[in-house]
Each structure stands twice: as C-alpha cells, then as structure tokens.
Amino acid sequence: MIRTRPVAVYLLVAAVGIAAFLYPFWLPDLARSSHAHTTDAPIWAAVVGGLVVAVVTLEVRRGTMNGATVALLGVLSAASGLLRLVDLPGNNAGIFFLVVLAAAAFGPRFGLLLGLTAMAVSAVITGGIGPWLPFQMLALGAMGAGAGALGRVTARLPLRAEVVALAAFGWAWGFLYGAVMNLWSWPFLTGTGPTQWRPGLGFGPTLAHYWSYYVATSFAWDAAGALFNALLILATGAALLPRLRRYAHRLDPVVELV
C-alpha cells in the first residue's frame, strides 16, 4: 500500500492539471464568474502546492527520496529559477533546458516535481506571481515528466544522438508550452470572432478557433522560444547530461523516481 501512494498522488497532480486548464470548457457558467482565474487561481495554487508537499513526504517515508535527493531537487529548482532571468526570446527558454536535461537524467517523477518547483521559485525571483502561476507550474511539470519519460528511452542512445533527441523534445515543447498556457485565459475572452471561444461551439470549431487565435497571437513568439530551447540543449547537453546521470547513479538505490 505504501508503494502505491506516491503514484496515486502523481496521478492526482495530472488530474488536477487537466481540470485546471479545461474546466472553463466543461463548466462555462462557473468559469465566467471567475474572471480569468482571478478568484480560483489561489485555490489551484494551494492544491498544487499541497500535492507537491504530499508527494515529497510520501517519497521520503517510502525511502525513495532522502535528504540528498530533496536537497538536489531544491538546488536544481533554484538554478532553473535563476536561469529564467536570462533574457532570451520566447517562452522561458532559460528555465526550460535545465528542466529537460535534469528530468531526462533523473526520471519522469523527479522531472514533474522539478518542473513544478522550478517555476514556483522562478516566480518568486522574478516577481512573476499572479493568477497564471499555478498554470505555469502545471505546464512545466508536464514538460519535466515528459522529458523524464523520454530520458528512459534515449539513455540507450549514444550521447550525441540523445542530446539531439532531447533538443527536438525541447523544440516541440517550445510550441506546446505556449499552446497549453494560452488555455488559462483564452476561454475568458469575449466576442464572437473567428479566434474566440463561446459555449456551445463544438469540439471541431473550438479547435479551429483556437488554432486561429494561436497563430495570430503566439506562434511567432513560441517559435523563437522553441529555437532557443533546442539550441541551449544542444550547447549544454553533452556536458551536463552525463554529470547529472552520474549523480543520479550515486544516489541509487535511494532514487527510484521512475
């Protein structure tokens, strides 16, 4: 039973993330009353923060995390948050590349926690605390989990090929992160134009309207972020990834965050 509890909490984090982004489409009347999450964002932030604490506590009790692992999570979160200060075009390229590389080295569950905590730390450092923060945390956590899962596959590749694969992942997430983050505010825009959503629109038309909105508002910006994500991973991956993996192996068998 103790072994399944952390997994259940991770699944709950995923469910909370899906609900946070999509509930305006499922419950439009309730969503309209929250004014682009200005009233419910603190609730989402509290839930996500509580789940992170619960996961870490359960992992420590289970023995798959210890003081060194928690300290490493804190150091990598702080480093990623500080890297957000690097002024690069696009969406947070300075924070993304380290999350991708560390998650690939330590696994999807560690990557999820790193994405969540790194974005929280970066918001404190940059003063970027607002109703968008829990959604940024969830989106970056999803990126970290995906990079960790990919790292389990790419670990069998030669280092250069693995870095290229992770760079391609970072490039794709440059677009995906922006597309996901648009959902935190897009359902609350008013109007009847071809880039806006309204209740009863239907799944196909909703996708078409969202694509028009994304291309008009975010595509170029996200393309710049995707490019810099890939370039930073290509520039640093060969040096950082083996060292991160070596440290992960030193923590075995304590680290079982797979």
d(CA 51, CA 71): 18
- Measured between its terminal Cα atoms, the distance across the chain in Å is 18
One digit per residue, the tens of pLDDT, for the chain of length 258 reads 445 567 888 899 999 999 999 988 888 776 665 566 777 888 899 999 999 998 888 888 887 788 888 889 999 999 988 888 877 766 666 789 999 999 999 999 999 999 999 999 999 988 888 889 999 999 999 999 999 999 999 999 999 999 999 999 999 999 999 999 999 888 888 777 888 888 888 889 999 999 999 999 999 999 988 999 999 999 999 999 999 998 887 775 444 444
pLDDT of residue 1: 40
Query: Residue 198, class by beta-carbon neighbours within 10 Å (0-12 exposed, 13-18 middle, 19+ buried)?
Result: middle
Contact criterion met (CB below 8 Å) for 184 and 21: yes
Cβ contacts of 174 within 8 Å, gap of 6 or more: 90, 91, 93, 96, 222, 223, 225, 226, 227, 228, 229, 230
Q: Which helix H or strand E contains 179, and what residues bound it?
A: helix 159-182
Residues in the chain: 258
